[in-house]
Amino acid sequence: MSPSTTKPAVSMTMPQPPSGSAMNRFLWNFRHHPKRELWFAWWVMVIFYSLYGVLFFLVSRVQPPPSPAWSTPMVVHWFDARHYGILAGFGVVFLISGMCAPMNALLAYSMRRMSVSRIFGYSYLIMYSLSAIPGMLVMAIAMTVGALRPDRDPEQIHWLYDFAFLSFSGTMGVFMIGSLVWLVAILIDKNGVFPKWFGYLSLCNALTEVVVAPAWIFQRGVLAWNGAIAWWINMVVFVTYTCAFIVLLRKMIEREDFVTGPLPDLPRKRVGERSDSVGAAS
């Protein structure tokens, strides 16, 4: 329980941006806003997850996942049909993979703002830094190799296909433990950084990470890597969970007062009142 729960007598007064054009307000916020790093990390998160969806589902078209039971000629044809999409999509994925750093930093920051040991934030930071490897990069590398070497033995292309999807869908342990770390931190936190229901939603998310483990065993059915339970239901939970923590992180930044102790609640907005955020100001 590292930070004390007592507030200093003096709390931070938020400087107001000058009136003028949206660009002027944006530039002022960019240079002077006391929460600019937090808002930067939050916007990186929003942009990253938006790009992640577009690149995986629309550009490379590797999601929703194809069948694990396909024959080698079908897999080779699948790679051929997505050749340019995979190269363009995963090319951008490699470029944006560095965006994970500020995202993970913001998540760890939220845990540092809690009344819990720093161990939680550090554990989460390390785990989610590692999670980019199975959750994104291994698949991107394997798919790109398959697309760039179409002349290789079809059996090797099929191996890359299995390797890519199993690494993507079947290595959820790091995400499960990460969700559990967040769950415990939220439940024992006294500063009210996140609502308790989000802690319980983390438990739901962690349990769905367990469900994908049978994807290593089954090539057909509901528990295969493209199955109704292992992929479709899990994806609904993951999207709900991700949207929830993005919104809650935004609220956390709005409430942040840069002191220790409980986060203050936001004042009730009157109609037409401007929000005190870079997002709203810009």
Partner 1 sequence: MTNLAGAGPVPRQLEERPRRFVPGQPDMWVFVLFETLLFTGYFSVYLVSRTQNRELYLQSQSHLDLRIGVFNTIALLLSSWAIARCVQAAREGAYRSALTNAFLTISFGIVFLTSKVLEWIKQIHLGNTFTSNDFFQHYFFMTSIHCIHVLIGFLVLGVLVYQLWSPARRSQQLVETCATYWHTVDFLWVLIFALLYVVR
- Rounded to whole angstroms, the Cα distance separating 96 from 58 reads 16
Q: Does position 3 bind partner 1 by CB under 8 A?
A: no
Contact map string, positions 92 to 111, toward partner 1, x by CB under 8 A: --------------------
Check: CB of residue 76 under 8 Å from CB of residue 152: no
What 197-205 contacts at long range (C-beta under 8 Å, 24+ apart), as own/partner pairs, is 198/244, 198/245, 198/248, 201/240, 201/241, 201/244, 202/241, 203/179, 204/237, 204/241, 205/175, 205/179, 205/237, 205/238, 205/241
Q: Please spell the DSSP secondary structure of 31-92, one letter per residue.
A: HH-TTHHHHHHHHHHHHHHHHHHIIIIIIS---S---TT--HHHHHHHHHHTHHHHHHHHHH
Counting contacts by CB under 8 A, is residue 195 touching partner 1? yes
Interface with partner 1 includes 135 (CB under 8 A)? no
74 near partner 1 (CB under 8 A): no
User: Please, what is the minimum distance in Å from the beta carbon of residue 228 to partner 1?
Assistant: 5
Per-residue interface string for the shown chain with partner 1, residues 149-188, x marking contact by CB under 8 A: -----------------------------------x--xx
160 or 186: CB nearest partner 1? 186
Candidates 47-55, 72-80, 122-130, 210-218; binding stretch for partner 1 (CB under 8 A): 210-218
According to the binding rule CB under 8 A, does residue 229 interact with partner 1?
yes
Point out which residues bind partner 1 (CB under 8 A). Answer: 184, 187-190, 192, 195-197, 199-201, 203-204, 207-208, 210-211, 214, 217-218, 221-223, 228-229, 233, 236-237
